[in-house]
Chains A and B, each alone.
Chain A
Amino acid sequence: DAGVIQSPRHEVTEMGQEVTLRCKPISGHNSLFWYRQTMMRGLELLIYFNNNVPIDDSGMPEDRFSAKMPNASFSTLKIQPSEPRDSAVYFCASTSVRTDTQYFGPGTRLTVL
């Protein structure tokens, strides 16, 4: 299995630009999670989906952030407009009803100048 796939691995953009992060979960997993990690705030859960439906988006920092999961094999996290304080590593993770273990992708390191 290829594991959770995230793209891009690194993204550098300027303040005000739109940023789209992508995630492909492990095949057969029906739950998907987006996290943000920074030195100051640690690992934060932003949103999670079950069977492609958003269950809890209370961790999304503000309206500039949005996430979609159009099908079981793809999810996006969009930031529009981006700000320097959004600079962080963004992780996607997936799991299934057969396991309670989360499988993390390698992360996308976002830098907003």
Chain B
Amino acid sequence: GNSVTQMEGPVTLSEEAFLTINCTYTATGYPSLFWYVQYPGEGLQLLLKATKADDKGSNKGFEATYRKETTSFHLEKGSVQVSDSAVYFCALTNTGGFKTIFGAGTRLFVKA
């Protein structure tokens, strides 16, 4: 079956540090891959997505590249800010489907 595995948190970084959150997936077919972000007290919202192999999704300085050969979609940001403190969810949706499989979430704390 389809599944998403992401690194456990919490991740604690100082402001302007480099961020990587690892995500790997298992899926049949050709899924679309996503990163969602959840700020305190809010629902999840889309951060970025990629729909096919080698695509790079990017938004707000965050990037992730769809790597089919390693079944990975790692999230990166070159310089984090305090305002990036949130929970980050890796997710996939299979072709033609509407059900999204979410990872367990990784909590990020950024210190000033």
Chain B hits for A101, CB < 8 A: 34, 46, 49
Given the interface pairs A43-B89, A43-B105, A101-B49, the reply to whether A93 lies near B43 with Cβ below 8 Å is yes
Interface centre among A93, A100, A101 (most CB of B within 10 A): A100
Q: How far is the CA of A91 from the CA of B102 in the complex (A)?
A: 14
* In contact, A43 and B102 (Cβ under 8 angstroms): yes
For the complex formed, measure the closest distance between the CB of A26 and the CB atoms of chain B, giving whole angstroms.
Answer: 13
Q: How far is the CA of A95 from the CA of B34 in the complex (A)?
A: 14
Q: How far is the CA of A91 from the CA of B43 in the complex (A)?
A: 7
Chain A hits for B36, CB < 8 A: 102
How many residue pairs between the two chains, A and B, have CB atoms under 8 Å in the bound complex?
Answer: 46
Chain A hits for B3, CB < 8 A: none
* In contact, A31 and B98 (Cβ under 8 angstroms): yes
Q: How far is the CA of A46 from the CA of B102 in the complex (A)?
A: 13
Interface string of B99-112 (1 = CB under 8 A from A): 11010110000000
Q: What is the interface residue range for chain A against chain B?
A: 20 to 34
What would be 30 A-B contacts, judged by CB atoms less than 8 Å apart?
A: A4-B43, A42-B105, A43-B44, A43-B89, A43-B102, A43-B104, A48-B98, A48-B99, A50-B98, A55-B99, A56-B99, A93-B43, A93-B44, A95-B98, A95-B100, A100-B49, A100-B51, A100-B93, A100-B98, A100-B100, A101-B34, A101-B46, A101-B49, A102-B36, A102-B44, A102-B46, A103-B46, A104-B44, A105-B43, A107-B42
**Residues of chain B having any CB pair with chain A under 8 Å:** 32, 34, 36, 42-46, 49, 51, 89, 93, 98-100, 102, 104-105
Q: Which 6 residue pairs across A and B have the least CB separation, nearest first?
A: A104-B43, A31-B98, A100-B93, A104-B44, A100-B32, A101-B46
Query: Assuming A93-B43, A102-B44, A103-B46, what are 17 further A-B pairs, CB within 8 angstroms?
Result: A4-B43, A33-B100, A42-B105, A43-B89, A48-B98, A50-B98, A91-B43, A93-B44, A95-B98, A100-B49, A101-B46, A102-B36, A102-B46, A102-B100, A104-B43, A105-B43, A107-B42
